[in-house]
Structures are given as structure tokens and as C-alpha cells.
């Protein structure tokens, strides 16, 4: 508890001094100061290694690898990482998919696939040109990153 307060106080000081520095930079910086950058900007986002992630039962390593490419915009024009982060840990526009806790499903591949189909892949402009095989693969990939060991 105490340590957490100190960390918060330090973070507040850092933010405050950053503001003072920015405001000295002149009025043309005014607009920039009003924008709150997403927290994901302050984090070193490391793409999970898809070749060592766990593979869900009934799926293949190739599917997890393909899901990784869809997630990161390298196949089927997928946009997942834009909102969920390169590391899948979320941005201001999409939640953390790595915590092993899901709001809309029990975290099984079947239910993750349902979330992706109903909420992520279908809405126009929300995500790329996912075919059924891409949805299977990306659901397996999300299952895999939700089961990775937390970063030390
Ligand atoms: C435009 C931003 C955006 C894109 C692109 C996007 N998502 Fe999402 N995603 C969200 C948001 C926001 C939520 C949370 C919705 C909610 O809780 O109401 C979400 C929720 C989810 C969930 C459910 C999480 C839970 O807690 O149950 C999954 C799974 C998911 N996204 C996977 C994906 C995958 C896979 C892709 C790529 C095919 C993708 N998303 C693309 C924004 C996005």
C-alpha cells in the first residue's frame, strides 16, 4: 500500500514536471498539452513469440502462427493490434487480452471466436477482411496469448 502511494506520487510529480517543461516550450505546444496520450505509449510493447506460445487442443501451430499475422495486420488486413496493442495488453481503444480474464466469454477458443465474429470482425470498418479460417486462427492466437506467462 505504502509503496503504491509512493509510486503514484512519483508518477504525479513526473507528469507535473513534464507539463511545466511543455508549457515553457511556448503557446504552439498548447494543443499538445491538452491531449492525454494512451498509457500504451509508456510501455515497451513486445510481440509475444508465436512459435513458443501454447497451442489450444484441436488447433495447430500453423494456425497460431497465422493468427499472430492476422492480429498484427500481416494477413487478412487484420487490425487487432491497433486497438489491443502489439503485445495484446490493450490500449485506450481495446482491452487487455492477455490477463486470462474475459468480459464476454469464458476464454475458450470457441467463445473467443464468437466474440471476434460478433464484435470484432463483422462491424464495417472495425477490422479487416477476415475469412472463417482467419477467425479460427486469430481466436486460437488470442487463446494462446491469454495463457502466456506474465512478463517478469
Ligand atoms: C477498433 C478497435 C478494435 C479492433 C480493431 C479490434 N478490437 Fe477487439 N475489442 C475492442 C474493444 C473496445 C473491446 C471491448 C468491448 C467491450 O468490452 O465492450 C474488444 C473486445 C475484444 C474481445 C473480448 C474481450 C473480452 O474481455 O471478452 C476479444 C476476444 C477481441 N476484442 C479480439 C479481437 C481480435 C482478435 C481482433 C482482430 C480480429 C480485434 N479484437 C480487433 C476493440 C477492438
3-state helix, strand, coil split of the chain in percent (to 5) is: 50, 0, 45
Q: What is the pLDDT of residue 54?
A: 95
Whether residue 139 is found in the same domain as residue 69: yes
Predicted confidence (pLDDT) at residue 34 exceeds the cutoff of 90: no
**Ligand 1 centroid distance, CA of 99 (Å):** 14
Cα radius of gyration rounded to whole Å, the chain: 19
Q: What are phi and psi of 141, to 5 degrees?
A: -65, -45
Q: pTM of this prediction?
A: 0.77
Q: Look up residue 39 and give its DSSP letter.
A: G
Specify the pLDDT at position 3: 61
Residue carrying the nine cell digits 471476434: 116
- Say what the pLDDT of residue 21 is: 45
Looking at the structure, tell me whether residues 27 and 69 fall in a common domain.
Answer: no
Average predicted confidence (pLDDT) for the chain: 79
Minimum-distance ligand 1 atom for the alpha carbon of 102: 26
Domain tally, the chain: 2
Compute the half-sphere exposure of residue 144: CA atoms within 13 Å on the CB side of its CA.
30
Residue 120 lies in a domain: yes
**Same-domain pairing of 138 and 92:** yes
In a domain, 52, yes or no: no
Probe ligand 1: pick from 85, 95, 130, max atoms within 8 Å of CB?
Answer: 95
The reply to whether 90 and 133 lie within a common domain is: yes
Q: Is residue 43 assigned to a domain? A: no
Query: Closest ligand 1 atom, CA of 138?
Result: 35
Please tell me which residue, 4 or 152, carries the higher pLDDT value: 4
Residue 77 Cα to ligand 1 middle (Å): 15
- Assess if residue 45 is contained within a domain: no
Residue 112's pLDDT band, with cuts at 50, 70 and 90, is very high
**Which residue has better confidence, 37 or 1?**
37
Structural domain containing residue 27? 2-35
Mean pLDDT for 97-116 is 93
The answer, yes or no, to whether residue 22 has pLDDT greater than 50, is no
Closest CA to 138 of 119, 112, 103: 112
| pLDDT > 70: percent of the chain | 65
User: 46 lies in a domain?
Assistant: no
Q: Is residue 26 located within the same domain as residue 77? A: no
Q: Which atom of ligand 1 is nearest to the CA of 134?
A: 38
Helices (DSSP H) in 72-128: which residue ranges? 80-84, 109-115
102 and 142 fall within a common domain:
yes
Same domain membership, residue 102 and residue 66: yes
Inform me whether the pLDDT recorded for 17 exceeds 60. no
- What pLDDT is recorded for position 125? 53
Nearest CA to ligand 1 atom 42: 94
Please list every protein residue whose CB sits less than 6 Å from any atom of ligand 1.
78-80, 82-84, 93-95, 97, 102-105, 112, 115-116, 119-121, 126-127, 138, 142
Grid cell 490500449 is found at: 91
- All three cell numbers of 56, joined, read 489450444
Q: Give domain status of residue 78, yes or no.
A: yes
124: pLDDT strictly greater than 80: no
- CATH of residue 87's domain is 1.10.760.10
Give yes or no: residues 81 and 138 share one domain: yes
Amino acid at each position: 500500500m505504502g509503496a503504491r502511494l509512493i509510486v503514484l506520487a512519483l508518477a504525479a510529480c513526473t507528469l507535473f514536471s513534464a507539463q511545466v517543461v511543455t508549457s515553457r516550450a511556448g503557446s504552439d505546444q498548447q494543443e499538445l498539452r491538452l491531449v492525454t496520450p494512451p498509457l500504451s505509449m509508456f510501455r515497451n510493447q513486445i510481440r509475444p513469440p508465436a512459435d513458443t506460445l501454447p497451442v489450444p487442443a484441436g488447433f495447430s501451430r500453423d494456425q497460431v502462427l497465422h493468427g499472430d499475422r492476422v492480429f498484427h495486420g500481416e494477413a487478412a488486413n487484420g487490425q487487432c493490434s491497433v486497438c489491443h496493442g502489439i503485445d495484446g495488453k490493450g490500449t485506450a481503444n481495446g482491452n487487455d487480452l492477455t490477463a486470462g480474464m474475459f468480459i464476454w466469454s469464458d476464454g475458450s477458443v470457441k467463445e473467443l471466436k464468437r466474440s471476434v465474429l460478433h464484435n470484432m470482425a463483422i462491424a464495417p470498418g472495425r477490422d479487416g477482411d477476415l475469412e472463417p479460417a482467419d477467425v479460427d486462427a486469430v481466436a486460437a492466437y488470442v487463446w494462446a496469448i491469454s495463457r502466456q506467462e506474465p512478463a517478469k
